Homo-oligomer: A and B are copies of this chain.
Amino acid sequence: MDVARTIFSNKGYHATSIDDIIEAAGIARGTFYLYFESKRAIFDELLDELFARLASVVRRIEVGPTAAPPEEQLHGIVERVMETLQQNRELARILLREAVGIDSDFDRKLSDFWGRLRGLIESAIRNGQAMGLVRPCDPSVVAHCILGAVKEVVFWVFIEHRASPSVRDQKQAPPDLTLLGKEMIAFTLTGLFTR
């Protein structure tokens, strides 16, 4: 799986052949099929890995007398997600770049994953609105905005940067993780305008 992860990450699902994997893993063709049902199956397993890791790190924001302040919880989640992705760059790369158009089953799985995430964001927004913290807005639309923003930034920082050892983006090195998280949260919470 280590080998497959790396190769899928570098070449994408379609461009990766079983041959690539078994050769890099130093095993025989048959051995591969002893442990994985198909090319699809190992890809599935790989992404499930990341799903599980992310799920263990993203928690619903608690409200209540004993809970930490929501903004602090938010910070925590963002930081932990960023760290998880950082530590699983290859999987993240796969998730964000290639995991679409493989299969309608797979597409559904993916869409479910993002849907669950979006649901969390949405309910946080609704809670915030109920508490008067969040301005009136369409929670569904805004949840999409937030998820999209995070995906794009993560893809940029963890994934695209790796791929371009060229001069292009050299001058503007990616900000460090904590800073990045702060910037994103600030944008999400207060937008662009000066107050």
Contacts and interface: CB of A to CB of B under 8 A. Distances in A.
A15 interface: yes
A192 B194 contact: no
Given A149-B145, A184-B145, A190 B101 contact: no
A14 B138 CA distance: 36
A148 B149 CA distance: 4
Given A148-B148, A156-B144, A190 B187 contact: no
Contacts of A111: 160
8 contacts: A13-B101, A14-B14, A98-B100, A125-B192, A137-B187, A145-B152, A147-B152, A190-B190
Chain A interface mostly helix, strand, loop or mixed? Answer: helix
Interface string A105-129: 0000001000000000000010010
Contact of A135 (B97, B148, B193): B193
Interface residues of A, number: 47
Interface of A: 12-15, 97-98, 100-101, 111, 125, 128, 132-135, 137-138, 140-142, 144-153, 156, 160, 172, 175, 180, 183-184, 186-195
Contacts of A138: 175, 183
Contacts of A152: 144-145, 147-149, 151
Contact of A195 (B15, B98, B135, B175): B135
Contacts of A98: 100-101
A191 B147 CA distance: 14
A144 B140 contact: no
A12 B101 contact: yes
